[in-house]
Structure formats: C-alpha cells, structure tokens
Amino acid sequence: MGFALGHRALDAGYRLAAFEQIGSTNTEALERARQGERGPIWFVTSEQTAGRGRRQRAWIAPRGNLACSILEVMAVAPAVAATLGFAAGLAEEAALERVSVEAALRLGPDRPRYALKWPNDVLAGGRKLVGIGLEAEAIGDRLAVVVGIGTNVVAAPEGTPTPAVSLAALGVHISAEELFAALSDAWVEFRGIWDEGRGFAEIRRLWLERAAGLGEKVAIQTGSATLEGIFDTIDDSGCLIVRTADGRRVPVAAGEVFFGAAASVGAA
C-alpha cells in the first residue's frame, strides 16, 4: 500500500509527492517553493534520514514511521503563520483518534489518551508521540509556510527531553499510510477553521480543550533561564501564559516545557 491523500484532501485540491526515503520532507518542500511550487502540496515518506526538529535536533524517522510536510504559500505575516502549528496539532490529534478506534474498542480503559503539548507536540500518556515544526520563507510578496509532522508509528527515539512512545507500543497497530490519509483529511478541516489566522480564536478554544498540563505546575527553559509557575492558558498570539507565585502572568513565546513532577526536574 502506497501513500495517498484522503478523499477530502483530494476534493480540496491538495497534491502529493511521496518518497520511499528522503533526507527531510521540510527541506524538500522549501526547495520546491524556491523553484516556484505554490502548493498546497504534501511531501511524505516512511523513512526520513536527515530531518530537523525544534532547536535543530535530529528528526529521524526509521522505516515505518511517518514524516510529512505540508507546503502552502500565503499572504500572512510570520507571526500569524506561527499559529498554524496549533491547527496542525488539532489535525494530528483528530487523525490519531480516527485510526485508534479499533484499539480503543479492544483496550477499553487502557486505550491511548492523546493530548496537545505546547507549542507543537502530541502526547500519549504523557509521552511524546508526535513532533510538529514550522518553517517559513519569504517568496516574493508571500510567505512559503511548511508544517512538518513526524509521528512515531512503529518506533520511538530514546534520550529525548520528553520521553517518547510509538503507536505500536500503545497497542495501535496501523500503517504510516493509513495515518497519513486520515491526517490529510483532518488538515483540510482545521486549516479551514484557521483561515489565514482569522479563525485562530476557535483554534485556540479547541486546542485548550485538549491541552496537556493546563492548570498544572510548569517549568520553561529558555537558554540558561528557567521560568516556573502554573500553565494558565495560551493568548491570542499563541504564547503560553505562566502564572507565577507572585501573581504575574508572563507570556512565553518559545522554550522547553516540563509539566507536573517533571517541572521540578526540568527546573533543576
């Protein structure tokens, strides 16, 4: 079975470039944009050898995992484009719920529970299942926006800041191809709600309903500094709002996030 777009994605005019193996789907997408590609088009593989995660960490997808990137060229400011990551998290969570139906029926109370971790991860049982990264580049008077999504389908990396897990380890036995078809359809829905940032208020509401660690102790590392407090909300630009012990509400635009008991470890 090869990669294919879902019916909703096809009807919406999305296209697909699939690879047996590739260095980085994000790199391929940006290079195509420089060459004149305007999308919307997905780049997908089940084996990625030279991907990049946040903070330039290696993002390697062994065969059987899913690495994909969506390229869209749009007339939005970079700060607005950054909020598209929240829509991507919602799309991935919806796709995971769709492909996990059999496992949910089989496992009952032990079924996987998915949650969205600020800014761009999807967790299962507190462990990282999905990483999402955004890149953007000016192309003429528009912005080429690439959203890269990596899912641990059959295997998970070790030694990550947040412990990782795979769908297979959770008892969800599906293929990268099956998950991608569901994701491409879910993307159409949440990209439509986002609507060049005009619908971010609704995206924010939906995201907060699925947020990991909301109302819990949080520690955020930014360089050599650590901010501790309670994860209060995200604001209308997507910043995480930390309520500190002295009652301040501090917006955070980027950083390494640790929740609950891990917050104490992360702050150490």
Q: Matching CATH topology for 7-209 and 217-267?
A: no
In tens, the pLDDT along 83-119 reads 999 999 999 999 999 999 988 888 888 889 999 999 9
- Domain-wise residue ranges, the chain: 7-209, 217-267
Average pLDDT value for residue range 163-192 = 96
Q: Which helix (H) or strand (E) holds 140?
A: none
Average pLDDT value for residue range 123-141 = 95
What pLDDT sits at residue 57?
53
Domain 217-267 has what CATH class?
Answer: mainly beta
pTM: 0.92
Q: With contact defined as beta carbons under 8 Å apart, do 76 and 196 qualify?
A: yes
Output the six-digit token pair for 73: 């060229």
- Alpha carbons 240 and 252: distance in angstroms, whole number: 5
In tens, the pLDDT along 6-19 reads 999 999 999 999 99
Split at pLDDT 50, 70, 90, the class of 210 is: very high
Region of residue 131 (phi > 0: left; psi between -120 and 50: alpha; otherwise: beta): beta
Cis peptide before 251 (omega within 30 of 0): no
239: DSSP letter: P
* CATH architecture for segment(s) 7-209: 2-Layer Sandwich (3.30)
Give the three-class secondary structure for 122.
strand
Output the six-digit token pair for 113: 């529970």
Residue type, 232: D
